Structure 1
Amino acid sequence: MVLKAFFPTCCASADSGLLLGRWVPAQSSAVVLAVAHFPLVPVQLKELLAEVQRAGQVGVAVLGTWCHRRQGPGESLGPFLEGLGTIFPHEPWLQLCREPGSQRWGCKASGWRGPAAPSGPQVMLVFYDQRKVLLTRLHPPAALPDHQAGAASAHAGALATVFDTVARGEVLFRCDRFTEGPVRLSHWQSEGVEASILAELARRASGPVCLLLTGLLSLVSAASACRVFRVWPLSFVWSKLSTCEQLGHRLEHLRLVFSTRRAEDPAQRMRKANALVSVLLDVALGLALLSWLHEKDRLGRLADALVPTADVSRGLAGHRLPGVGCRPRAQPREGRGQPERALRRLYHLKVCGLSSLWRLFRGKKWNVLRQRVDSCSYDLDQLFIGTLLFTILLFLLPTTALYYLVFTLLRLLVVVAQGLTHLLVDLVNSLPLYSLGLRLCRPYRLAAGVKFRVLAHEAGRPLRLLMQINPLPYAHVVRAYRLPRCGCTPQHSWGALCRKLFFGELIYPWRQRGGDKHD
């Protein structure tokens, strides 16, 4: 088995010192987190390691020595570093060194009891970007396609251990050169803790603000749950209006975002961020639409453009229905949907009648009990009457179909408008916009795995690899972080829609709840 030493790239140019990290015996891996420099007091270093173990619940120890040979041959620190193994005993004891003025590296592992090659233990040196690994959320292979999951499952445990070790050692990274600590360290934040004044002020103000908004949302929730809103007609209006449904959905999002409970895992934090971005985008789109409609009197122009369409629909509704000889007497409160429904029923009746009579001519009939077409013999009178009815319905069908087509096209315009609006609302409500933006701007934050690039492979030298992060594909980002959908979902495919149009069945834009369909 090869010993794998994960070394941060930020420590490649650090001064000589001690390697601090975690040893994983099950995988024969050593994860280096920082380099402790001289001069140091062993007791203070041990106290620092004990503090990191208590805070991060991870076993951190001195793994070995790091020698950056910037000195001349006469000033080598080799004998001094080799003697430190008696003060900080650990097996295996790593001795990592870098030659002066070159890219040649050396790595030895003394005291390692794993299987060794005839020439000595085989050591593999893997460089990793400590900042990216710390901020990355590694997704399990189950979130990947099958052909990728099989290849990644063998190394998933080792990679998860490396990422978890770096994440738990975050306490160690709070010490930089500006803090007066007992031990001087080199890590990804040793030159200064990465921070922002605005971010720090926002973090300190987030507690009182979230507490205040949570109280306000609790009052709104208590008011909306009052029995007064459950009395008809308020309950009927609340269940029918999409605006009320959207308000209830956004209330749940706001309650999630401004909750005072701390997020338990990265997935919950990502869900809160996605909900907050979704609410902000919803408000921004609403304000932009209102501003656009009020500019240059566009709302009045839109109303003037829709008036002729309403007049045409009212004029068509006043015509006599073909084959009936009467005008539709729809009340104003029933709307202009009644003529369309009457024509749809008439057209559907003629299509079904022609279909049944066509089966009569072929000696077939529809078996209602078994829901299938069976053979049947008809006498001469039945065939004669069927011929007369078939002729009448066939010659009346073009006129009825023309009226049905006009009203159906008008209804399709409404269905398409409702469908596009519902699709836009569904995208704003459920699309993980924050996760997609994070994947676009910082791909390493959402990782699907890692890949290794060979840096150098020389005889007698350790194999040096560079660990790079593979970003999660966009489709899997949407699948993993998509917010719960609000409202109803479409139920018709294109084939089912064309079938309903041809046979004259009523088209609902979305699946309705129980009791909402009225034909």
Structure 2
Amino acid sequence: MVLKIFFPQCCNTAESGLLVGRWIPGQDSAVVLAIIHYPFIPAQVKKYLSQIQNQTQVDLTVLGSWSIPKEGQEGMENFLKDLSTIFPHSRWLQLSREFGKRAFTCRVIQKNGMTPPEQDNEDGDGKSEKDKIIFIHYDQRKVMLSQLHPLQEGDQNPESSELRLVFQTVAKSQPLFFLDKYDEGPVKLTHWQSEGREASIIVELLKQASVPLCMFMTWLLSMWHWICSIRILNLRPVQFISSKLSSCVQSGYRTGHLQTLCSPKRATTHMEFMRKANIFVSFLVDLALGLLLISWLYRENRIGKLANTLIPVADHVAKELQELLEWLMGAPAGLKMNRALDQVLGRFFLYHIHLWISYIHLMSPFIEMILWYVGLSACLGLTFALSVLSDIIALLTFHIYCFYVYGARLYCLKIYGLSSLWRLFRGKKWNVLRQRVDSCSYDMDQLFIGTLLFTILLFLLPTTALYYLVFTLLRLVVVMFQGVIHLSVDLINSFPLFALGLRVCRPYRLAEGVKFRVLCEEPGVPLHLSMEINPLKCSCVVQCYRTATYSCYPKDSWTALCKKLFVGELIYPWKHKSTKTD
């Protein structure tokens, strides 16, 4: 069994003292966290470690002694060796280092005696006892701040579980690092903060300022919930319309984000902290982009230019639709259509276009004012402005949506009628209770009426299918444009900007694993390795920390989508999925 000792790099030149750390349970490994320097009182050391154990819930103990030559302390090594009787343990490590050498020497004192490194006790495979000790030097600060992935430990490999325990031990022992060798206290320690503590006045001021800001935001959210709880807003028609408007959905989503940020509950896990941080950065970026849009939109009278362009564009689209309908009412592509049905459908859709153009011209004097006030919605963020834009597109193309619904319903009715009459010819019928096709006998009158209806529907199907095909293609063009907007909103809402920035600026914070490099390999001393952190891949960062949100992706598979298009069922390529809580 190889004894692995994880030793912090900051303690390589520390003065002689006691090794404080933890024996990894179930593993033949030890993690050194700090070195306690002389002078000290063993009773005070035990009391101090007991206090740290209560705070960290980590089984900290004195692992052994550390000695380094120094003038006037020639007997320090023997003194530290005798302390093994005061701090009893199954094993007592005696580490020593000489100046000018990078390697350590190690002696392991068992309860039943000592195993000196000078002995060359060969075992069955020809290896000596000294080869069974490996020193692994690690950067204590990086290991403490890093998070080893995957977060859910599914790997049964003992090496990976041992490494995870090492990372958790160093991270949970943070209260041990509050006291160092320069502080006045019962003990003096050397660890990663001994060469200088990190502090930031700006961070402390932001922490102090965040408390009243969170209280103010909580008050605003309570007022918003009070407004939303008004009885008239809870009526079913209002709720139905608000659920279909992208701006209402986005406002509700951002309200949930603000509730998460202003919650007095502290993030206790790594995923909760990262989720809050990603939401906060996403919210700031969203507001910044919205303010940039406002600064561009309200300069050089761009609102007026946009309003003056909107009416001609609407007239041009209406003219193109009229020409398309007139083409369909003739002989499109040389196809022979049912003239009576063709004329009825064409005039029906032309009347809708006439109504829509009249409505647009009636609203034309107010369009600039409406756009001016709608543009102010960008102060709530770019995502809200994009959601309003999606709603405006939906309103401006409502006549195309109506054409699609009329054509799809008529086409679907004929498809299901033909399929039902086709079963009649084969002596079958659809059993509604059992949800299956059963055999059935029909009389002569039923077969005659069924044949007559089947013939009528079959000959009228090409005309209906052509109108359905044309308006479905128009609807898909609008849907694709709205889908791009929804994808942009979803990207800003869910993209883990904070996690990705952390991966770029401080890659050790998100660790995928570690790699070992031979630091020192000298004869007569244990092997020394250097442990370096492998950062998590950027694609894995996005996949792991992406904020759960409603998505713009198709709810159904492409096969189901094509089937719906073929039978004439209404399709909505995006569905607002419920937000999952992590």
TM-score, normalised on structure 1?
Answer: 0.80
For residues 3 and 416 of structure 1, the distance between their equivalents in structure 2, rounded to whole angstroms, comes to 62
For residues 275 and 39 of structure 1, the distance between their equivalents in structure 2, rounded to whole angstroms, comes to 49
For residues 115 and 492 of structure 1, the distance between their equivalents in structure 2, rounded to whole angstroms, comes to 69
The one-letter code sitting in structure 1 at the alignment partner of 2:306 is: L
Partner of 1:89: 87
Paired residues for 1:376-395 under 5 Å:
none
Partner of 1:424: 488
Partner of 1:308: 316
- Deviation of 1:19 after TM superposition, in Å, equals 1.9
- Change over 3 Å in CA distance of 1:337–1:441 after alignment to 2: same
Partner of 1:516: none
Partner of 1:197: 201
Structure 1 range deviating more: 195-204 or 259-268: 259-268
The one-letter code sitting in structure 2 at the alignment partner of 1:100 is: F
- The answer (yes or no) to whether the contact 1:58–1:165 under 8 Å persists in 2 is yes
Instruction: Choose which of 233, 242, 248 in structure 1 pairs with 2:246.
Output: 242
For residues 323 and 113 of structure 1, the distance between their equivalents in structure 2, rounded to whole angstroms, comes to 106
- The answer (yes or no) to whether the contact 1:98–1:106 under 8 Å persists in 2 is yes
Structure 1 range deviating more: 293-302 or 346-355: 346-355
Instruction: Choose which of 70, 76, 81 in structure 2 pairs with 1:80.
Output: 76
Are 2:226 and 1:222 equivalent residues in the alignment?
A: yes
Gapped runs of 5+ residues in structure 2?
A: 116-120, 123-127, 330-337, 360-397, 578-582
Instruction: Choose which of 228, 232, 235 in structure 2 pairs with 1:231.
Output: 235
Instruction: Choose which of 471, 480, 497 in structure 1 pairs with 2:561.
Output: 497
- The answer (yes or no) to whether the contact 1:176–1:192 under 8 Å persists in 2 is no
Q: Deviations over 1:45-66 (max 9, x none)?
A: 4554344233323333332222
- Change over 3 Å in CA distance of 1:161–1:150 after alignment to 2: closer
- Deviation of 1:158 after TM superposition, in Å, equals 2.4
For residues 3 and 226 of structure 1, the distance between their equivalents in structure 2, rounded to whole angstroms, comes to 68
Secondary structure in structure 2 of the residue aligned to 1:335:
helix
Instruction: Choose which of 428, 436, 439 in structure 1 pairs with 2:503.
Output: 439
For residues 148 and 427 of structure 2, the distance between their equivalents in structure 1, rounded to whole angstroms, comes to 62
- Change over 3 Å in CA distance of 1:292–1:499 after alignment to 2: farther
- Change over 3 Å in CA distance of 1:352–1:23 after alignment to 2: closer
Paired residues for 1:334-483 under 5 Å:
335-347=399-411, 367-369=429-431, 371=436, 402-483=466-547
- Change over 3 Å in CA distance of 1:479–1:80 after alignment to 2: same
- The answer (yes or no) to whether the contact 2:494–2:546 under 8 Å persists in 1 is yes
For residues 7 and 17 of structure 1, the distance between their equivalents in structure 2, rounded to whole angstroms, comes to 14
Paired residues for 1:71-150 under 5 Å:
75=71, 77=73, 79-87=75-83, 88-91=86-89, 92-111=91-110, 118=122, 119-120=128-129, 122-139=132-149, 142=152, 149-150=155-156
Secondary structure in structure 1 of the residue aligned to 2:193:
coil
For residues 353 and 236 of structure 1, the distance between their equivalents in structure 2, rounded to whole angstroms, comes to 31
- The answer (yes or no) to whether the contact 1:418–1:509 under 8 Å persists in 2 is no
Q: Deviations over 1:101-153 (max 9, x none)?
A: 23232111122669986554632211111011111223457466xxxx344xx
- Change over 3 Å in CA distance of 1:424–1:223 after alignment to 2: same
Instruction: Choose which of 266, 276, 281 in structure 2 pairs with 1:272.
Output: 276
Are 2:484 and 1:485 equivalent residues in the alignment?
A: no
Secondary structure in structure 1 of the residue aligned to 2:267:
coil
For residues 150 and 295 of structure 1, the distance between their equivalents in structure 2, rounded to whole angstroms, comes to 62
- Deviation of 1:416 after TM superposition, in Å, equals 0.7
Partner of 1:63: 63
For residues 205 and 47 of structure 1, the distance between their equivalents in structure 2, rounded to whole angstroms, comes to 37
- Change over 3 Å in CA distance of 1:48–1:179 after alignment to 2: same
Paired residues for 1:155-194 under 5 Å:
155-176=159-180, 179-181=183-185, 183-194=187-198
- The answer (yes or no) to whether the contact 2:17–2:80 under 8 Å persists in 1 is no
- Change over 3 Å in CA distance of 1:7–1:218 after alignment to 2: same
- Change over 3 Å in CA distance of 1:115–1:422 after alignment to 2: farther
Instruction: Choose which of 557, 573, 577 in structure 2 pairs with 1:509.
Output: 573
Partner of 1:31: 31
TM-score, normalised on structure 2?
Answer: 0.72
- Change over 3 Å in CA distance of 1:431–1:25 after alignment to 2: closer
Secondary structure in structure 2 of the residue aligned to 1:32:
strand
For residues 212 and 406 of structure 1, the distance between their equivalents in structure 2, rounded to whole angstroms, comes to 53
The one-letter code sitting in structure 2 at the alignment partner of 1:507 is: I
- Deviation of 1:356 after TM superposition, in Å, equals 8.5
- The answer (yes or no) to whether the contact 1:177–1:192 under 8 Å persists in 2 is no
- The answer (yes or no) to whether the contact 2:67–2:76 under 8 Å persists in 1 is no
For residues 156 and 109 of structure 2, the distance between their equivalents in structure 1, rounded to whole angstroms, comes to 35
The one-letter code sitting in structure 2 at the alignment partner of 1:107 is: C
Report the number of matched residues. 499
- The answer (yes or no) to whether the contact 1:53–1:60 under 8 Å persists in 2 is yes
- The answer (yes or no) to whether the contact 1:293–1:299 under 8 Å persists in 2 is no
For residues 344 and 300 of structure 1, the distance between their equivalents in structure 2, rounded to whole angstroms, comes to 33
- The answer (yes or no) to whether the contact 1:125–1:464 under 8 Å persists in 2 is yes
For residues 339 and 297 of structure 2, the distance between their equivalents in structure 1, rounded to whole angstroms, comes to 42
Partner of 1:517: none
- The answer (yes or no) to whether the contact 1:450–1:470 under 8 Å persists in 2 is yes
- The answer (yes or no) to whether the contact 2:135–2:528 under 8 Å persists in 1 is yes
Paired residues for 1:256-335 under 5 Å:
256-295=260-299, 297=302, 299-300=306-307, 303=310, 304-313=312-321, 316=324, 320=329, 323-324=340-341, 325-326=343-344, 327-328=347-348, 329-330=351-352, 332=356, 335=399
Partner of 2:362: none
- Change over 3 Å in CA distance of 1:389–1:364 after alignment to 2: closer
- Change over 3 Å in CA distance of 1:168–1:123 after alignment to 2: same
- The answer (yes or no) to whether the contact 1:10–1:187 under 8 Å persists in 2 is yes
For residues 388 and 200 of structure 1, the distance between their equivalents in structure 2, rounded to whole angstroms, comes to 80
Partner of 2:54: 54
For residues 533 and 441 of structure 2, the distance between their equivalents in structure 1, rounded to whole angstroms, comes to 71
- The answer (yes or no) to whether the contact 2:19–2:35 under 8 Å persists in 1 is yes
The one-letter code sitting in structure 2 at the alignment partner of 1:308 is: H
- The answer (yes or no) to whether the contact 1:140–1:156 under 8 Å persists in 2 is no
Structure 1 range deviating more: 327-336 or 455-464: 327-336
The one-letter code sitting in structure 1 at the alignment partner of 2:490 is: D
- Change over 3 Å in CA distance of 1:375–1:46 after alignment to 2: closer
- Deviation of 1:378 after TM superposition, in Å, equals 13
Q: Deviations over 1:131-185 (max 9, x none)?
A: 11111223457466xxxx344xx23442333223222321222234664445443
- The answer (yes or no) to whether the contact 2:10–2:191 under 8 Å persists in 1 is yes
